[in-house]
Amino acid sequence: MKRLKQSRAADLLEKFQQTKILVIGDLMLDEFLWGRARRIAPEAPVPVVEIERETLHIGGAGNVAANLAALGASPVVIGVQGSDTNGNRLCGEFEKININTSSIVIDSSRPTTVKTRIIAHSQHVVRADREKKTPVNNEIEAQLVSNFLDLLPTVKGIVVSDYEKGVITPSLLEKILPVAIAQNIPVCIDPKLKKFEYYHPATIVTPNQNEAESASGIAIDSAENLALVGERLRQMLKGASVLITRGEEGMSLFENDNEVINVPTIAREVYDVTGAGDTVVATLALGLACGASMLESAILANYAAGVVVAKVGTATASPEEVLAEIDNFFHHNVKP
């Protein structure tokens, strides 16, 4: 495994502090209802969950911003909320972690996206989604683009977080990506399958394995096919680097000449993968913005993801937790 020295990781994490990263994408509110299930409902064969507490977290593109803030950066967010109570709750959660919401556009024609998870004994029982997934109208898109162009000169990196909830449209991508790349600002894209052909120009795109297989039409069932997938995706993305997140198989980076560099997973315990992709793209963007190489950024993102998957629910990783994860890896895997 390619290694990132502890001293280099500490130096990068220090550089993360107050680095300004712009996140544009689909904002969501993650609502968790926690309780116990002691009986089955008499009217249907489903558990009755007695709710004991409720927690709120920022989800979607907002979770990318929350991860950036947890790592010490200064994220700015662009997205859409509804003119509703949940929109106010979402902004309240941003304010708790000192993220400015002035560039969020209010769209009265759609609800704020909310995902409600009911959890009993630390296990997901059901999830209910309230959302509208149709593309935003031309007026809302124009406001989003305007906010992006206004903020662009002030930031060191960009994350496009596409959850297919209507904010990231092909026409929006055509208006923002060339401008950012022309100014040599690293652009990291967390993609969705339907718009792969529109994710360029970009610095790096981070599909998970299912997305990579579907977009390329090739199953990753061998080292040879993995290489073919990377090559095909880079062709589709017109040369952008590709980082495929592969769960327990770690990550596979395709950067130069389609050579694959595998970064094995370091997670010791996996409780919940919710939001791990957000952690990866946030850490990756910060690394590139602070002068790290693509590989260094990917390795650091791998450590940060290892922290997050060991937690239940939408979670983030602090610099101290990432350093502890690195120290633990070296303690158990590197011989003196």
- 93 with 29: CB under 8 angstroms? yes
- Structure confidence at residue 175 as a pLDDT band (50, 70, 90): very high
- Structure confidence at residue 273 as a pLDDT band (50, 70, 90): low
- Structure confidence at residue 312 as a pLDDT band (50, 70, 90): low
52-101 per-position pLDDT tens digit: 999 999 999 999 999 999 999 999 999 999 999 999 999 999 999 999 99
Dihedral of CA atoms 327, 291, 155, 82 in degrees, nearest 10, equals -40
| DSSP 8-state assignment for residue 208 | B
d(CA 158, CA 54): 32
106 DSSP β-pair partners: 81
Q: What is the pLDDT of residue 271?
A: 47
Higher pLDDT, 99 or 272: 99
Examine the pLDDT at 129 and tell me if it is beyond 50: yes
Q: Is the pTM of this model over 0.75?
A: yes
Examine the pLDDT at 2 and tell me if it is beyond 70: no
d(CA 106, CA 78): 11
- 248 with 262: CB under 8 angstroms? no
d(CA 280, CA 302): 7
Residue 20 burial (C-beta neighbours within 10 Å; 0-12, 13-18, 19+): middle
Q: Which one of 26, 162, 190, 278 is the catalytic residue? A: 278
181-191 per-position pLDDT tens digit: 999 999 999 99
Superfamily of domain 6-333: Ribokinase (3.40.1190.20)
- 226 with 220: CB under 8 angstroms? yes
Q: Where are the domains of the chain?
A: 6-333
Q: Which residues, other chains included, contact 270 with Cβ-Cβ below 8 Å and sequence gap of 6+?
A: 248, 309, 310
Q: Is 26 a catalytic residue?
A: no
289-310: average pLDDT = 92
231-254 per-position pLDDT tens digit: 999 999 999 999 999 988 889 999
- Structure confidence at residue 269 as a pLDDT band (50, 70, 90): low
Higher pLDDT, 312 or 13: 13
- Structure confidence at residue 267 as a pLDDT band (50, 70, 90): low
Which of 299, 298, 322 has the alpha carbon at shortest distance from 310? 322
137-151 per-position pLDDT tens digit: 999 999 999 999 999
Q: What is the pLDDT of residue 336?
A: 41
Q: Which residues, other chains included, contact 102 with Cβ-Cβ below 8 Å and sequence gap of 6+?
A: none
201-226: average pLDDT = 96
Residue 232 burial (C-beta neighbours within 10 Å; 0-12, 13-18, 19+): middle
| DSSP 8-state assignment for residue 33 | E
284-297 per-position pLDDT tens digit: 999 999 999 999 99
